[in-house]
Structure 1
Amino acid sequence: MTKFFDEALEEGRLHRAAVRVRHLTLAFTFVVTLAAMGYVFLQIDGELDRSSSVNSDNVTWTMAQVEVDTLKLQRAVILAAQRPEDPKALDDLRLAFDIFYSRFSVLAKSDQLNHLPINETLRESLWTQGAFFDRVTPIIDADDATLAAAIPALQEEMVTVAETVRAQVVSSLQTLMANGDARRNELRRSLQVFAAAALGLLGLMAALSLVIILQNRAQSRRSETTERAVHNLRAVIESSLDALIIADAQGAVTDCNGAAEQLFGISRDDLRGVPVDRLLHHAGTDDPLTLLRSLYRSGSPELQDGRLLMQGRRADASETPVEVALAEAQGAGGEPMFIAFIRDVSERIEREESLRKARNDALKGEEAKSRFLAVMSHEMRTPLNGLIAATELLQTSTDLDQRQSWLSEIVLSCGWAALDQVNNVLELTRLGSDQSASYQVSDFSPVQVVRDLMLQNQPQAGKRGNLLHFEEPAEPLPRVSAPRQLFLRVLYNLIGNAIKFTDAGSVTVRINPRLEEDGRRLALSISVIDTGIGIAEQDLERIFHNFETLDASYARMREGTGLGLGIAKLSAEAMGGTIHVASELGKGSTFTFDVTLPVAAETRAGATAEETTPEEEQPALNILVVEDNPINSLLLTEMLRLRGHTVTTAMDGIEAVEKATTTAFDMILTDISMPRMDGLEATRLIRRDGASRNVPIIGVTANASPDKMPEFLGAGMTDVLVKPITRAALMGILTTYSRGISRNRLRSTLPAVATPADPPVLNGEVFRETLDEMGRDFVERLADKLIGETETVAAQLSDLSAAGRHDEAAKVAHKTAGAAAAIGLSGLHGALVAFERAAQAADAAGEAAALVTLRGVIPRTVSALRDNGLSLSVPRAAAE
C-alpha cells in the first residue's frame, strides 16, 4: 500500500507549493493594479483640463469674430453711404456682407454654439422669414443702383443689428464661461467618483485577497488533516485482518496490504502485476472484477451484505472460501482503479455447517420427542388404564374382605400415582415443544374451576389435617375464553403443592379480578396462600426448575418428582401469564398467578346448567366396543355390562365397520390406535353408510394431545374419552350421549341430527377472531348471506344428487364449505364436507345422509349465532 499512500502525500506537498505561488502572484498583481490606476487617474485629469481649455478658446474666438464681422459690415455700409456712386465701395459692401453671412451660417450650424442664447436670438432676428437676411440678401445681390438706393435704410438697420449682436455676444460669452465652469466641476466630481470606485474596488480586491488567504490556510489545514488521515488509514489497512488489493483498469494488482500477503502466501512485490483472476475464482466466469462490477450495478441478490462468495487461490494452488467486496476509485492521475476487500470465511463456513448439523440434530430430537410423546401416551397409559380399571371393577363387583380392600386401595393409589407422574412428564414434554400452542380454547368459569379443584383436593388436604378455604370474588365473574387445560394445570399444581408442604394448617385460594374498561378482557390475580414450611430466599428461583425438590436427599419427607411448579410456570407462560412467589421460611408461602384472558362471547341459553340423568334412569344401550387390546376390551365390556348395557366387541377398524354397517348400535366406543385400520378411518367409513352412520361415536385414546382433537372430530367422532377410563368419565359420556336415544328409536331410520350427540355448530376460536378482526356488522352480513345461500345450496345439492351429477355436486359443496369454515361455522362445514366426500365417491346414500345433517344444522347454526349476539334476517320460525 506504500505506493498508493505516497501518491496521496505527494499530492499534498504539491498543493502547499502551489498555494505559496498563488500568494506571491496575488500580492504582485495588487501592487501593479494600484500603480496603474493612479497613473491613469492623473492622465485623465490632465486631459480633461486641456480639452476644456481648447474648447473654451475656440468658442470665444468664434463669438469675437461674430462681433468683428458685424462691425466690419456696419463700417462697409457707412463707407458705401458716403460714396454710393463708387463701384468699389459697393463691392466692399457686398464682400463684407458675404463674410457676415458666412460667419452667421457657421454660427447657426455649430454644435458647440447651438446651446448659447445668441443662436436662438439671432436666428429669430436674422434668419426667419422677413428677417434681416431675407430682406437684405436680395438687395446685396441686386445691381449697383438698387444697392445704392437701399444703403440709407441698410445703414439704419445695421445699427440695430450691431447692438443686438453685441448684446448677444456678451450674454453668450457669459453663458459659455458659466457652462465651462459647470462642466469642469461635473467632470471633477465624476473623476472623484471614479477615484472612490477605484479605491472601493481596491478594497474589495484586498478583502478577496484576505478571503483567499484564509481559504488557503484552511485548505492547508485540511491538507494536513488529510495527511494525518492517510497515515492513520495506512495503519488501519496494514493492521486489518481482511486482505485488501488494489488493481488497475486491466485487472492487474498494483498494491496490497499485509493481510493479502498472508492470505495468498505471496509477498507484496511478487503480487504486483499479478492478474486478479489468478487470485480469485468464481464458478462461471474468468473475470471476477467484471462480475463484481455488474453485480454491484444491478443490485443482484447474489451479493450478501455487499459481498460475493468466491474461492481464493494460494501460492501452493490450494483454495479457500473468501468473501469479496469491490470499490471503484481513481488514482492520483485520474486513472480508474479497483479496491477489493477480501475476507477469509473458511472458519465461518465451518461454524455454519456445524450449526446446520446441530439444527438438524435438534429437529431430529424434536421429532423423537414427539414420537416419545405419542408412544408414551399410548404404551404407558394403556397398561395403567387396565390396572386402574381392573382395580375399580374389583372393588365394585366383588365382595372383598378388609385386607383385600386395603390391598386394592394400595394398588389403586399406586396406579393413580404412577399415572400422575407419567402425565407430568408428558405434559412437560409437550410444553417444551412446539405443541404448547395447540391447546384447545374453550369457554369456562374461572370461579367454577377453582371450586372443582378445591372439592377434588379436599380428601388429600384432610389426610394432612389441612383446611381448604376459597375466598370468592364479591361480584360474579364472566366466563373467559382460554385453554382451560392450561388454566387448570396451573392451579392444580399450585394448590397440590401447597397441600403437600403444609401439615395441620390451611390453604387459601383468593381471586382478585379486574375487568378492563372495554369489557373484553378480564385480568385475574389468583393467590394460593399456605401456612406450610415456607421456602428459603435462595431457593425461590430454583423451585421452578424441572426435577428440583427442596429436599433431594434419600430421607426426604415429601414425595414428588419436582415437576409440578415447573409445569405450572410453563403453563402460565403459554397462556401469557406469570407466577410470582413470596415466602418466609417456617411461616408459609404465597404463589400468585397473574393472567389476562378474553371474556367469552355471550353463552348460549342452557349452556351453563345441564341436567344429569341419574345413572339408574339411563336406558339400556346397545354399544359397540372397538379395542385391539384384549385387557382393555374386557374391562370396558365388564364396566358397561354391570350397568345393564348390551356390548358387542370388535378387534379392529375393519371388523367394526362390518358390524356397524349391518347393525344399528346406540353408541360406538372405539380405540384410535389399532392395527389394520385405525379408529379414524373406521369412523369415516361408518359415517359414510350403514345402519350406525348417525349414532354417537366416542373415540378412546391415550394420546390426549389437544392438537389432535380437531383431527378426531373432523373424522366424524362425536367426542373423545381419554384413558385411563374411570367410572365417572364413562358415566359422564353415557349420560351425555344417551339422552334422547330412547326417543329417537321411535323415529325414522334416519334420525334428526339436532341431538346432543352432534358436534358444536360453531368453532369458537375462529368465530371470535373473525368478530374481533372484521367487526360484528360485517360478520352479521356475511353470516346472513351464507345461511341464505346454504339453504339454496341444499336444494341444489338434492337436485344434483338425484340427477347423478356427483362431480358437480361435490364442487358446489366444496365452495360453500370453504366459506362456512372461514367464519367458524363448523357445523355447516362438517355437513358440507361429508356431502363432498360422499359425492366424490358417488355414494348416493351418503349424500342423502349428509343432506339430512345439513338441513338439521342450519337452524342450529342460526340459533347459535343469535345466542352469540348476531342479528340475522332469517325468520325465527324458519330457523327453528
Structure 2
Amino acid sequence: MTDSPPFDLDTQPMRRRTRARAGFAVAALVCCVALVIGMAFLLLKEIDQLNEADSDNLQWGLSQADVEFLRFHLALEQARADHALLDDMRQRFDIFYSRMATLSRGDVYVGMRTAPGFEQTQSLIMDFLNETVPLIDGPDPDLIKALPHLAEEADKVGETVRAMSLSGLIAFAEISDDKREGLVHTLFGGAAVLAMVFAGLVLLSYALYHLFQLAEQRARDLREAGERTRTIVATSPDAIVVIDDAGTIREFNPAAQAIFGYSRNEARYRNAISLMFPREDAAKLRAGKLHFFEDASYSEDYEQRFEITAIDRNWRRFPAEFSVARAEAGPLLIVYVRDISRRKSSENALKDARDKALAGERAKAEFLAVMSHEMRTPLNGMLGSMQLMHDQQLNDKQNALLERMEYSGNQLLNLVNDVLELSKFEAGKVTAEHRPLSVAELLEGVVETTSPLAAANGNVLRWSWLGSPQDHVIGDQRRIRQILLNLVGNAVKFTRDGHVDIEVEKLGDGKGLEFRVIDSGIGISAEDQERIFQDFETLDSSYARQAGGTGLGLGISRRLTQMMGGEIGVESEPGEGSLFWLRLPLVFAAGAVNRPDAAALPLPVKMRPLNLLLVEDNEINRFVAREMLEKEGHTVSEAVNGAAGVELAEAEDFDVILMDISMPVMDGPEATRRIRASSGASARRPIIAVTAHALPEEIARFREAGMDRAISKPIDRKALLAALAEVTGQAAPTPEAPVLVPEPGTGPAGRAQLLDEERLGILWSGLPPVERGKLMQRFLAEMDSVIPSIAQSDPDAEDGPAGPPAHDLLIARVHQCAGNCGTFGLMGLREALAQIETAGKRGDPINRVELVALITLWQRSRQALTTWLAAQQADTEDTGIPTS
C-alpha cells in the first residue's frame, strides 16, 4: 500500500477565491444599480418635500400667536373690569405662553429662529412673558394690583408680536428659496454620481478581465502556499492528527509524536481512541463525546473544542485540549491537540490567589463596616454637642465657627454612612422590599427635601408625569427614594440658576416606570459617564470641587437599582446639562391602598356590656382607654405588663383582651402566646393588639402569636368600639386601618402638623373635667423628663454587662413616648419619634442630630399644647398646668 504525501492540498481554495472575486464583481454591479436608485429616490424625496412643505402649519402657527395674544389682551381688559375673570385671563396667558414656547422649541420653526428679526422680537415677547409669570402664578390680590401696569406692557408687546409674525413669514420665504436651490444642487450631484457610476462600471469590466488573467498565477501561488503549509504543519507546536471515517489515524505530525511518544509510522493506521485515551475510558468515549471519530455515516461539517484526559506511550495521563474540524477533501477529521498541563497548573494557582483575594476583600469589607460603625459613635456625639451649643449665647464669630464645624462634621458623617452602606452591599445584607407606595407622594417628598438646596443655587425644581399617571405601585419605597434623592441632589448641586425637572413615565412594555432627572447644569463628558457610577469616583470641575462628595452615591444607586432588577444610566453633553434615567420593574396596583380613616367609621350599634382586660404599661394610655370604655358601660380590669395580664387572663373569663405590644417584664406577643397555650379561663377569647408603631412584618408576627386584630395608637373611640363589636360578633367585619410607619430620614416631624387640635379636642371632651388638669400635668411632666433623656442617648453605645441592649432600651423609650404624643395630638413629635423607631427596627443608622432636635421640637409642641389648653380654660379656673 503506497502512502500519499502528508497533508496533500487540492485546487479547491483557488476555486473558492475565484468564485469570491466573481461574487464581488456582481456585488459591485448591484451596488452601482442601488446607488442610481438611491439618487433617484433622494431626488423624489426632495421634490416631495417641496410639494409637502409645512408652510400652512408654520403660517398658521404664526397667525395663531397673534390670535392668542389678542385673546389674552382681551381677557386682560375684561379682568380689569371684572376681577372674577382672573382665572380666564390666566388661562389665556398660559395658552399664549405655550404658543410662544412652541415657536421657541418646535422643529418646524428651527429655520426661522435663526433670522435676526424673528429672534429679536421673540426674545422681547419671552421677556415680557417671563416677567409676568410670577404675577400670573401669584396670589389674586397681587395680580389685581398689577393689572393696569400689565395692560400697558401688553399694549407695547402687541406691535412686537405682529413684527415677529411678519419676520417669521419673511424668513420662511427665504428658507423655501434655499430649498429650491438645494434641489438644483442635488440634481447636479445626481448627474455627477451617474457619471461616476458609469466610470466605475468601466473599471469593473477591466477588473474582471484582469481577474481572469490572474487565475493561473493564483494557482501557481496556491501550490507554493501548499508547500509552505506542509512546512508549518510539520513545525507546529500543537499536535495535528488526521483521522479517517473509520477512526484510523492517517497523519501524525512531529508535535503529536513529541506529545504522545509514538513515531509517525507507529501511530498511522492505528485506532485513534485506543492510542490517545486510557483503555478504561475508550468504550465510554466511543459511545459519547467521541462517537463521530468512528462514524462513517456522519457526513455533516463538524467543529468542536473540548478538554479531556489523554494518555501517552508511557501511560502518563495529562489534560489535553482537543479542537476537531471536518476537512473538505474527503471524510477526514483534523484534530488539533494541545497539552495543557502547565495551563491547568497556572489556573489552579490563580484560583488559589483569587480565593485569597476574596478573603482579603471580605476582611476589608468587615473592617470598613466596623470602622464606620465605630467612627459614627464619636461623630454623633460631636454633632449632637454642636446642636446643643446653638442654644447657648454665642457671638457672630463663634456661630460662624460652629456652622463650619457642623458642616465638616456632617460631610464626614455622610462619608462614613456611605462606606457603611457600601459594606452592607459587599456583605450581601441589603434586600429589596415589596410594599404599596404612592409615586406622587414619593416625588413630593423628594422635591420637598431637596428644595432648600435647589433654591440656594437659584434653581427651579419640579416634577411631572409623562403620559397617563400610574400612581399606585408595589416596590421598595425607601430604596427608590434614596436613589432619587441622590440623583436630584447631584443635579441641584451641579446646576446654578437653572432648572431641575423630574419626569416619571410608564415603560413601553407596561412592566414598570422610568424616572428621569433632567438638569441644565455643567453636563458630563462621554468618557466620564460610565466612570461616575464607580465607587469613590468624582469629576474634576469647579462645581464638583465646590459641592464635594464621596464618590459613592452613584455607585450605591447602581447597586440598589440592580438589586431591584432595574437599570440606571445617564445622557449628557458638557455645558448642555444631564439626563439621568432610572428604569424599575414595578407591579402596578389596581387602585389606592385601602387605608380607611377611623374617624369615618360608623358608630357600632349599642353593644352589651363587656368584661374587658386592658394590658398596658403606660398610666396615661390606661386612663384614656378606661375612660372611653367605661363611658360605654363596659367593665375594665387593668394589668401593667404582659406577665400580670397572663395571670389575670388565666384566672378570669374576659370577653376581650386589649394587649399593648411593647411592655416591660413581658411584651404583648409573648403574653398572647402564653395565654393561647394555657388552659386558662380566657385562653380562647379575642385578643386585640394595640400599638403606636409597627412594621408590616411585625403585624404578621402579632397574628402568628394569636392576636385577632390590631388597632393603632392613639386610640380612636370609633375604631376601638368597631373592633370590639367585630371580635364579639356584634357587627360585620370592617377594613383594618394600618399602623403608621413613616419612612425614616425625612427629618424631624416630616410634613405632619405640630398639633392635631381635632384629635386633642376629642380626648378633652371625653375626659371628666376633674381629671383633665391632672392628666395633662402628668403628661407634661413625663415628657419634660423623657425627651431630654432620649436626646442625650448614644444610639451606638456599647451594651453593659447586664440588662437589655442599649439600642433596644432607646427604641423602647422612643416607642412609649411616641404613643403618648399621639394620644395628646402632638403629631409632629410623634412622627419624628416614629421615624427614629423605624430606623432602629430596620437596622438603619440613628442620627444623633435627629435625637438632639427632639428637644426643640418638644418645646414648640409644648408651647402649642399649653396655648390650646389656655384657650379651652379661658372661662374656667386655672388648672395648675405649667406653661414652660
TM-score normalised per structure 2: 0.39
TM-score normalised per structure 1: 0.39
Greater gyration radius? 1
